[in-house]
Amino acid sequence: MRVVVIGGTGILGRRVVRRLLDAGHDVAATARDDASRVAFRDAGVRPLEMDVYDRASIIEGVRGSDAVVRLTTETPTLAHMRRPAAWVETGRLRTESASLIADACLVCDVGAYLHESISLVYADHGDEWIDETSPVDVQRVAPLHDAWSGEAAAERITAAGGRGVVLRFAGFYSEDSTQSIALATALQHRRVTLFGRARNYHSSIHVDDAATAAAAALTAPAGVYNVADLEPVRYVELIALLAVAIEAPPLRRLPKLMAPSLLGVAAGFAFRSLRVSSRKLREATGWSPTVQSVRQGWELVAQQWALESQR
């Protein structure tokens, strides 16, 4: 299959490109700089120079492909997530750019389109498991509304007779994730605060497993699929497990009522209890995560950090 990956140099994109190559696909991917272009060529990937906000440029890039995988994102750093302005570019990529990519797929008769989304769009479900039929809650939080409305790009492909696949990813983590590194650094300096009991469920997925899920989803029927590990944990445990793995000092706590003033826009989704199931994707494709939970995952990440610090 001839596959174009838009967002090929991101933390997920690099891994997806490798998985697609390993599976024998003919892969082209967007590259932001000369070093990325050279690395892609050396690996057997055709590098693309594409303006993801220019219709003609996108059409030129996807022409002749069988599938397009959209993995473009600009998620703010932990330090800036509270600011609405920090989410503007991510919102444009999820909506404006995604719509243009869907336009190009339709013009070029591309049969399959995979769209990266997030599981944070779901409403709080307490201790209940969440599947793809569960209600969403996006109206009051702009970043979530952008993520959810952007999924319409995949729906347009399906409506035209193709396969539009939406992947709602749980929270990424890995040894090379800037978010994971920032969280660990903040824990070491006691800059992470738990608000209230922090007993809401948080679903995660190791980026390696997210990549294998995206590659597997190329064969999935059209529709929405959750991508999460098998054992979501409560947020207090998520943070405590990382703190133990990196031998960080004790956690700080503040009353939950202080969260809105300190977390800003992130308070709109930080306390949702999201126990997300990926059963639908597993049954449709045979995919399964190799890291079943952050209970094992944080230990693996911490071990990798320790090895890198010794080099």
CA-CA-CA-CA torsion sign (57, 59, 60, 61): positive
What phi and psi values does residue 217 have, to the nearest 5 degrees?
-70, -10
Which CA distances in Å does 197 have to 200, 246, 290? Answer: 8, 22, 30
User: Residue 184's Cα: distance from chain center in Å?
Assistant: 19
Residues 6+ apart with CB under 8 A from 109: none
- Phi, psi values for residue 116, rounded to 5°: -75, 125
Domains of the chain (ranges; CATH) run: 2-309 (3.40.50.720)
Q: Give 249's DSSP letter.
A: P
Task: Quote the tokens at residue 199.
Answer: 């007993």
CA 195, 199, 201, 204 dihedral sign is positive
Q: Rounded to the nearest 5°, which phi and psi values hold at 133?
A: -90, -5
Q: Which helix (H) or strand (E) holds 164?
A: strand 163-169
Distance of CA 231 to the CA centre of its chain: 18
Q: What dihedral do alpha carbons 263, 268, 271, 273 form, nearest 10°?
A: -160
DSSP 136: B
pLDDT tens for the chain, residues 1 to 311: 999 999 999 999 999 999 999 999 999 999 988 999 999 999 999 999 999 999 999 999 999 999 999 999 888 777 777 788 878 899 999 999 999 999 999 999 999 999 999 999 999 999 999 999 999 999 889 999 999 999 999 999 999 999 999 999 999 999 999 999 999 999 999 988 899 999 999 999 999 999 999 999 999 999 999 999 999 999 999 999 999 999 999 888 888 888 887 788 887 788 999 999 999 999 999 999 999 999 999 999 999 999 988 77
Q: How many CA atoms lie within 13 A of 280 on its CB side?
A: 21
Say what the pTM is.
0.95
What are residue 99's phi and psi, to 5 degrees? -65, -40
